[in-house]
Chain A
Amino acid sequence: MVFRVAQRKYLMSKKNSIVILFCITPFLYACTPTTNILKYYLQNQKILDSIQQSYKEQYRQRPFSIQFTDRSFTNVSIEIFTDTLKYIYEFAKSEDRMKDTLLKYHLSVPGINKLIVQMASIHCTWINNLDYYVKGKKEYLVFMSIRPKSVNFPFTNKKYYILTYFLQPQYYDADGRLLDRRYRKKIRKINEDVFKRITDKVAYTISDRFR
């Protein structure tokens, strides 16, 4: 009798364990962002590279950055740099005011509109050109933040996928971490985050802020 009760208890606990494991597996899977970001990059590589290329080309005409200010990707903030001032504007995605502003600063209206549509399609919240210094020399990279489509738990910080596109191939250590220079073991940080290799010129990190 005692043996049967013990056996039933054991089976019950085993069953419970299986149910619990079954329930938490999706969450555990969701907690592996490194795999997710690599998968995301491979799935969207074509469009990501296209956004980066298009941004660089238009940036040459006039320095600017684009940010989606809301979760639904309907409001856009554009920062436009002139020699003396940085203008910060906020528009609804299809607002006419935006066209007038872009024309005023000699930015390509179809080009920027296409960029905005492409960014929204892959949940890219922020793109800008960031300067960094190597041996005292100024270098540039394109900085893109992506808001992944995953379950949002209340009161938790949302994580963003950050991708950086460098102009030159970079140096990485054995663990794939971005290095400051070739012969120095110092890890380079961008926005206080450590980046890891995707390709020689593209690195990623996961951050709790998008800019």
Chain B
Amino acid sequence: MKNFYRFFFHTPFYKIVLVAVSGCYINNASAFRNTTTNDTTPVSTQKDAIFFIENIKNLKSSPYWPHVKPDLFLKNLKENIYTPLSIYEGSNTNFCGYAALSYFPLHDDPLGYAKFMLELFEKGKADFGKVLIQPSPEIMQAAGTLKFKGLLDIRPADQIWFLCLADHFKGYINFFNRHYDAGDENTFWASVNYAKFNRMVKKLFNYAITARGFDLMHPHIFDLYEYIIAKMKTGTVVLYLNNADLYKKKHNTVRPAIPTHFVILLDIIKTEDMITITYWDYGFRSLRQITSAFFKKIVFGISCCTKKISHE
């Protein structure tokens, strides 16, 4: 299967297939715009979560997670609650989509996140939003053993979180590699396509999502800056970007124009032809000044995630 997958992705043929498939998902993403607001987005405060987590004194080892030490797990949960921006997907993994969506529970419902993680640790399965997360035995064995990923090495709760999400949610991009094998955190098994990202945010955290974008094409927005500014007034904006341009890693003349990275946009300012963006990724906030043309070149998707309020 892996040989086939290698062959498939090393020939231009795959782009045609992906365009066809992504088209279906784009329609899917746009369907989120009409989400009804009968139900509400669960919210809690950091104070609630701190009170809850600080009252847990003794956490016993879990038979479901043999390689996760309970003290490290609890320490990791506390770090995420006290400093939600420090969650880190690990170096050279494909967990950036899951790290980006972690922004929502850690900021808007940290208590819900903490309760979910503790239940998952103790019972081996737990509900988050509308989703029952029940990881496969391979995931339970792998959590706590990921190494050489920087800070992620010593954060077992984040390993559980990312691995469980990647194990549960599948998009077309995971079609050829659906089951976890050691090292798959760096492969298409862990990848997140645009529609999958929007679906995860909607199902897990019950946000209303307005999504504009594609997996292989730029969205047709006349004034990208004005559009983003308008969206930032209504909710949290996630950008789907071409990472090969954002963080150049090679000097190749020909680089694939494919988005592979999700960031949370925190601020955007335009002065003449320059755009200054402040965004969160890799466990840190970054500020960068780029030209409007470059910004347009790297943006493939804009998702605006808005909390649902009952009396709307």
Chain A residues near B (Cβ < 8 Å) = 67, 69-71, 81, 84-90, 125, 130-133, 136, 147, 155, 157-158, 180, 186, 188-192, 208-211
Contacts and interface: CB of A to CB of B under 8 A. Distances in A.
B60 interface: no
B286 A125 contact: no
29 contacts: A67-B248, A69-B248, A71-B251, A85-B286, A85-B287, A87-B287, A88-B289, A89-B289, A90-B289, A131-B151, A132-B148, A132-B150, A132-B153, A133-B150, A133-B151, A133-B154, A136-B72, A136-B154, A155-B254, A157-B250, A157-B252, A158-B251, A158-B252, A186-B147, A189-B147, A192-B92, A209-B249, A210-B249, A210-B250
Interface of B: 72, 91-92, 147-148, 150-151, 153-154, 186, 247-252, 254, 278, 284-289
A117 B278 CA distance: 30
Given A71-B251, A86-B286, 4 more contacts: A86-B285, A157-B252, A189-B147, A209-B249
A189 B92 CA distance: 11
Contacts of B72: 136
B251 A147 contact: yes
Give the secondary structure class of B's interface: mixed
Given A70-B251, A209-B249, A85 B148 contact: no
Contacts of B150: 130-133
Nearest to A81: B284
Nearest to A137: B154
Contacts of B247: 211
Contacts of A87: 286-288
A125 B251 contact: yes
A86 B250 contact: no
Given A158-B252, A210-B249, A85 B153 contact: no
B106 to A, nearest CB: 17
B240 to A, nearest CB: 19
Contacts of A189: 147-148
